[in-house]
Chains A and B, each alone.
Chain A
């Protein structure tokens, strides 16, 4: 319904709408620029697989919750909007959690409390407050997907780096060839430890801002 009305006004993937998706992946990345939703990035990225699963879960929760909040934006009293938002997010996260438990039990054990912590992922609340509350469902959906993808991209990048250097595997498959180990290559155990995620994100911020000087923090 909403898509049809949108169609008449402007094409589904107009320039403006495309920006909603591409901007958060680069220039307005939720993690490296807006600093929202850091917690889970650091804890689940020891391996690529859980990072990937969490990224997909966040994309799903964020896309749907943005649409739901946008649909009810005109009938939600502003005073109780935070509780309403939390309820919507929490219900979606419960569904994601149950699906994960049923379909991928091992990954669900590995993610442990971090599936629940999607609820308090500030990037979701931030986008609901900042965008979905004032915009139509379709742009809100794109905005949610875009921001969650930007978040997921960092998550996957950190997971990739940490698993590759920390244990020489990707998705559980060994990728560093055996002869390198025979020559004397050693996995860097430091990458498995949690502090390394912090430092990896720090370096990513460094690289991104070196390439794009206008993002530099003046304070």
Chain B
């Protein structure tokens, strides 16, 4: 249990997907104009990450990695399908995103309209695939740890996008040099937020 909390806190703050690895920047920059839409997208990302990471964990451990097919019988013990990782992971993610899209459309049409094109784009959001690949690289011990990592990463992404959206709403009233307006200043602010988040690195868990 303690280990699960550790992984969660670590993936929210120390290994924050946006501010430490810069994953999912495209939608992070494009949807962070207002807090309201960014909250919506943030929840969608938490949800998708919380589902896809454990599923990909199961697939990786029981189908793809070296020796994973041993449960089929001794003949398969040496099979190594790990070169298929990318294509299988992205297929899982794309179908899960489709599912989430259908659910949101059914239950919250306003959210669906405000997210617009960005919902399908979650499928190609690097944060989602990135989290699955990190999960594979870090060899989590069991599915609970993988789930905790997925949810934690989602929450970290949520915090980052809501934070930048709040700052961007305020910065509209500031006198930013014209060429830096919009995109430029957002980059620099994200950089500064990243430096702030780096102070979490010293924490031992």
Residues of chain A having any CB pair with chain B under 8 Å: 32, 35-43, 82-83, 86-87, 90-91, 93-94, 97-98, 112-113, 116-117, 119-122, 125, 193-199, 201-203, 205-206, 209-210, 213, 216-219
Contact = CB atoms under 8 A, between A and B. Distances in A.
Instruction: Report whether over half of chain B's contact residues are helix, strand or loop; otherwise say mixed.
Output: helix
Interface string B2-22: 000000000000000001111
Contacts of B84: 94
B195 interface: yes
Interface in B161-189: 177-188
B204 interface: no
Given A122-B121, A198-B190, A38 B22 contact: yes
B119 interface: no
A39 B195 CA distance: 17
Interface pairs A-B: 9 shortest CB-CB: A217-B182, A198-B191, A202-B187, A195-B194, A209-B179, A42-B22, A38-B25, A199-B191, A202-B188
B125 interface: yes
B123 interface: yes
Given A194-B21, A195-B195, A209-B184, 16 more contacts: A32-B183, A35-B26, A38-B26, A41-B22, A42-B22, A93-B86, A113-B137, A117-B129, A120-B126, A122-B124, A198-B188, A202-B191, A205-B184, A206-B179, A216-B181, A219-B182
B143 interface: no
Contacts of A195: 19, 190-195, 198
A120 B129 contact: yes
30 contacts: A32-B183, A35-B29, A35-B30, A38-B25, A38-B29, A39-B26, A43-B21, A83-B94, A86-B90, A86-B123, A86-B124, A90-B90, A91-B87, A93-B86, A98-B83, A112-B137, A113-B134, A116-B85, A116-B129, A119-B86, A120-B130, A125-B124, A195-B192, A202-B180, A205-B184, A206-B177, A206-B184, A217-B181, A218-B181, A219-B182
Given A120-B125, A206-B184, A86 B194 contact: no
A216 B182 CA distance: 8
A98 B195 CA distance: 35
B191 A90 contact: no
B39 interface: no
Interface of B: 19-26, 29-30, 33, 83-87, 90-91, 94, 120-121, 123-126, 128-130, 133-134, 137, 177-188, 190-195, 198
A119 B129 contact: yes
Contacts of B124: 86, 119-122, 125
B25 A39 contact: yes
A90 B86 contact: yes
A42 B23 CA distance: 9
Contact of B86 (A97, A193, A203): A97
A69 B120 CA distance: 19
A197 B125 CA distance: 20
Contacts of B178: 209, 213, 216
Of B121, B126, B129, B192, most A-chain CB atoms within 10 Å: B126
